[in-house]
Amino acid sequence: MARGQPGELWVHVGQRSDSRVAYWKNQQATSEKVVDGWLRTGDVMQADAGGHLYFVGRSTDSMRRRGENVSAYEVEKAVDAHPDVLESAAFGVPSPVGEQDIMLAVVPVDGRTVDPRALVQFLRERLPRYAVPSYLDIVAELPKTGTHRVVKPDLVRRGVGAATIRLEEL
């Protein structure tokens, strides 16, 4: 992967049977995960100018909306480019018409506020129509693990609430 560009992290595990990663009684899943001695982690990483790697998402982190698969990473990348957004998490919530709607949890940059109308216009200029989120929660922080990964199941469980902004209505 080129520096500054996201890519999937692969780890060399070799061909020895004792160093191999395997799914219990599922050879097909194992053969898709380990290719020519390389473990495909599913973690999307990005290297900075100094060669340090940073976790940016999961390659399998996606939503199904209006017949399209939408990458949470791509939505978050567009949202995080907004000058008032410190960080975000995109995730699927049940849609009344089937599949999923896209919801955002957004943390504003200290001292700034996120204007929902400006954000949705910003995203409409950068994402395909089907990938523009339907819902927005502005939060003080995102729930994270000890390794700083966003705990999206917590956000999904919380779902659409009374304080949620419906972006499609703007």
Do 20 and 68 share a domain, yes or no? no
Residues 77 and 160 in one domain: yes
Query: How does the average pLDDT of the chain come out, rounded?
Result: 87
110 and 124 in a single domain? The answer is yes
Whole-number pLDDT of residue 34: 77
Which residue would you say has higher pLDDT here, 27 or 102?
Answer: 102
In a domain, 1, yes or no: no
pLDDT, one tens digit per residue, over 104-144 is 999 999 999 999 999 999 999 999 999 999 999 999 999 99
Contact 130, 68 (CB under 8 A): yes
CATH number for the domain harbouring residue 94: 3.30.300.30
Q: φ and ψ at 164, to 5 degrees?
A: -70, 135
Question: The domain containing residue 136 runs over which residues?
Answer: 61-169
One domain, residues 73 and 154: yes
- Establish if 2 belongs to a structural domain: no
Which has the higher per-residue pLDDT, 57 or 153? 153
Given a contact cutoff of 8 angstroms between Cβ atoms, the answer to whether 113 and 146 are in contact is: no
Is there a single domain that holds both residue 44 and residue 68?
no
Same domain, residue pair 129 and 72:
yes
pLDDT tens per residue across span 51-90: 888 776 666 688 888 888 898 989 999 999 999 999 999 9
* Residues 109 and 33 both lie in one domain: no
Q: Do residues 81 and 158 both lie within one domain? A: yes
Residue 60 is predicted with a pLDDT of 67
What's this model's pTM, rounded to 2 decimal places?
A: 0.70
Q: Provide the domain count of the chain.
A: 2
Note whether 72 and 46 are same-domain residues.
Answer: no
Locate 115 and state its tokens: 């204007």
Whether residues 71 and 86 fall in one domain:
yes
Mean pLDDT to the nearest integer, 139-162: 92
* Residue 21 or 86, more confident: 86
Q: What is the CATH number of the domain that holds 21?
A: 2.30.38.10
- Share of residues in the chain with pLDDT > 90 (%): 51
Residue 27's pLDDT band (cuts 50, 70, 90)? confident
99 within domain boundaries? yes
Asked if residue 88 and residue 36 are part of one domain, the reply reads no
Are 157 and 102 part of one and the same domain?
yes
Decide if 18 contacts 62 (C-beta within 8 A).
no
Residue 42 has pLDDT above 80, yes or no: no
